[in-house]
Amino acid sequence: MHPLLANPLINEPFDDEAIDLSTFDFKDIEEQGFDPADFDDLFRAMKVGEGISLLAMCLVFLQYPVLELVVAEEAEEAATGFMMGLLIVYRGIFHAEDEDAAVAWIGGDAFQNAFNEASMILQKKNARSTSGPRA
């Protein structure tokens, strides 16, 4: 297990949050956009993660239940657009960046490397948790 996952603020940070995925309507977001206030829990957790490291922030981001649902159920282009939208809003709120600056940050090597590493860490973690002995 990666050392960052020993921190409960990074490993499954939304387990104590009451997120009702049954009321989530991605089609509504695609048509009308999203209200950043609806994702305040995500943005606050990402900020805590970013205070530790960029990798920690990416780990938090990728474990958000709504994001996991969108990635699992929507087309790749739609899911990528949703992720970009969340990251752009996050950068605007906590770093006072405009969309162009946020997109440049997302496309930069530091973020891309941290995001890809976080994805691999979570894939390994999830593979371990699903590859236990079978009855």
| 15 pLDDT above the threshold of 90 | no
Distances (CA, A) of 67 to 3, 5, 13, 96, 134: 23, 19, 13, 23, 29
Amino acid at residue number 36: P
Residue pLDDT, tens place only, 71-89: 999 999 999 999 999 999 9
pLDDT at 105 over 90: yes
What local confidence, expressed as pLDDT, does residue 131 receive? 63
Report whether 114 contacts 2 (CB < 8 A): no
> What pLDDT band is residue 135 in, cutting at 50, 70 and 90?
very low
pLDDT one-digit tens code per residue, 107-130:
999 999 999 999 999 999 988 877
Q: Is pLDDT above 60 for 38?
A: yes
Q: How confident is the model at residue 133 (pLDDT cuts 50, 70, 90)?
A: low
pLDDT score of 132 more than 70? no
